[in-house]
Amino acid sequence: MKLVCEKDKILRAINSVTKAVASKTTMPILEGILIQTNDNQVKLTTYDLEIGIEYIIECDVKEQGATVVNAIMFSEIIRKLPDTDIKIEINEKNLLVIECEGSLYKLATMNPDEFPELPQINIENSIEIEQNSLKDMIRKTIFAVSTEENRPIFTGCLFQINNNKLNVVAVDGFRLAWKSKFLQNKINDFTAVIPGRTLNEINKIILDSFDTVKIGVAKNQALFEMENCKVVTRLLDGEFLNYSSVIPENWETRIRVNKDIIQNCFERISLISSSSIEKEKKYPVKVFVEIGKVTISCTNQTGDAKEEIYVESEGKNLEAGFNPKYFLDALRAIDDEEVFIDFGTSISPCVIRSVDEGDYTYMILPIRLKD
CB-based contacts of 16, cutoff 8 Å, min separation 6? 53, 55, 204, 205, 229
Question: Rounded to whole angstroms, what are the CA distances from 92 to 35, 60, 89, 97, 290?
Answer: 17, 21, 10, 10, 79
Q: Would you state the pLDDT for residue 276?
A: 53
CB–CB of 294/255 below 8 Å? yes
pTM reported for the whole predicted model: 0.92
Q: Is the dihedral angle over the CA atoms 67, 71, 76, 78 positive or is it negative?
A: positive
% helix / strand / coil in the chain, to the nearest 5? Answer: 25, 40, 35
CATH architecture of structural domain 248-364: Roll (3.10)
How many angstroms separate the CA atoms of 15 and 79, rounded? 9
Distance of CA 107 to the CA centre of its chain: 33
Q: What is residue 168's three-state secondary structure?
A: strand
* Three-point CA angle 290, 329, 147, nearest 5°: 125
> How many C-beta atoms lie closer than 10 Å to residue 185's C-beta?
7
Q: What is residue 155's three-state secondary structure?
A: helix
- pLDDT less than 50: residues of the chain: 280
Same fold, 125-244 and 248-364: yes
Q: What is residue 312's three-state secondary structure?
A: strand
* Three-point CA angle 282, 286, 292, nearest 5°: 160
CB-based contacts of 175, cutoff 8 Å, min separation 6? 144, 326, 329, 330, 362, 363, 364, 365
Domain residue ranges in the chain: 2-114, 125-244, 248-364
Q: Is the dihedral angle over the CA atoms 99, 110, 23, 46 positive or is it negative?
A: positive
How many angstroms separate the CA atoms of 44 and 34, rounded? 6
How many angstroms separate the CA atoms of 258 and 289, rounded? 15
How many angstroms separate the CA atoms of 206 and 213, rounded? 8
Q: Would you state the pLDDT for residue 119?
A: 93
Phi, psi of 316 (to 5 degrees): -85, 160
How many angstroms separate the CA atoms of 253 and 42, rounded? 59
24 membership: H or E segment, kind and range:
none
Q: Would you state the pLDDT for residue 275?
A: 62
CB–CB of 56/40 below 8 Å? no
CB–CB of 134/106 below 8 Å? no
Residue whose C-alpha is closest to residue 69's, from 26, 8, 104, 21: 21
Classify residue 19 by its DSSP letter.
G
How many angstroms separate the CA atoms of 41 and 138, rounded? 31
Classify residue 26 by its DSSP letter.
S
Q: Could you tell me the fold of the domain covering 2-114?
A: DNA Polymerase III; Chain A, domain 2 (3.10.150)
Q: Would you state the pLDDT for residue 371?
A: 61
Domain 125-244 part of CATH 3.10.150.10: yes
